[in-house]
Amino acid sequence: MHREIYPGIHWIQECGPHRQGIAEAVQRRGETWCPPGRELHVPQNAYLLKGERSLLFDTLSPMGGELILEALEQILEDRELDYLLVSHPDVPHAGNTARILRRYPQAKLVAPREGDTHGLYQLDGALKVGPGDEIDLGGPVARFHEATFLDAALHVWMTEEGSQTLFPVDWMGFPHLDGECLRFADELEEEIDIGRLTEFHSRVLFWFQYVDVDVTRDVVDYLARKFQPDRIAPAHGLVIRRDPERYFELMKEVVSRVAESGRTGVL
């Protein structure tokens, strides 16, 4: 399953199985965004930037191995993959790294520069990138940034300069329902609400419960000013292409809710 979100930027999505336990917990809490009878998915996303050269950002999970190889073949056609960037060494993001490199042996593996566990994750031979670095693909330009909100020390965020797209990896993720796969957030019948975002972040970035709320909300405001994205492409949600400012405001409220209620989500 893939879709072009901007000329030269392709979204590849693995919806994963129905997360029945999460759906039931949401319904017990009386939230309305996941009604009974609907399936709930926590997707994995990868993004292929294609110009004169190509770069794949993340790899999906091992369950999505055939899916991503088929998508790459369809999008690249008879071309090679030039760069494979792993945002961080976590299964949903790096699980198909070896498989993709076997299929595209000329591709250069790219990894976050920060951190000292590259050997542990067999990333010593990768091209290391970090804040201030960029890769010009002859069209799209991938620029790299500190991962402000993250779930692993070895981590990098990315923007694409021409489209003003922010790729914040796990941050700004949220589940979706059956029938919503590979749809833009603005194509849903109802707006993404605070409940979906809180459900995801209370599980994945559960450390929000320990932060200074005012300081963290100020950091979200800083990121909104720094990036000013036209679209947001998270690793575990739907692509946002309308009113991205609203989502920064929602993320400030997410911090407050998780800090107050703790880890309410279920695995």
Q: What are the pLDDT digits (tens) for 148-195? A: 999 888 999 999 999 999 999 999 999 999 999 999 999 999 999 999
Does residue 38 have a pLDDT over 90?
yes
Strand partners, 135: 142
Tokens at 160, concatenated:
């694409």
List, in order of start, the domains of the chain with CATH numbers: 2-261 (3.60.15.10)
Question: How far is 117 from 123, CA to CA, in rounded Å?
Answer: 8
Tokens at 48, concatenated:
């292929």
Question: How far is 99 from 253, CA to CA, in rounded Å?
Answer: 39
Q: In which region does residue 119 sit, left (phi positive, over 0), alpha (psi from -120 to 50) or beta (all else)?
A: alpha
Q: What are the pLDDT digits (tens) for 124-136? A: 999 999 999 999 9
The angle, 0 to 180 degrees and rounded to 10, between the axes of the packed helices 194-204 and 244-261 is 60
Return the closest-CA partner of residue 261 out of 29, 32, 28: 29
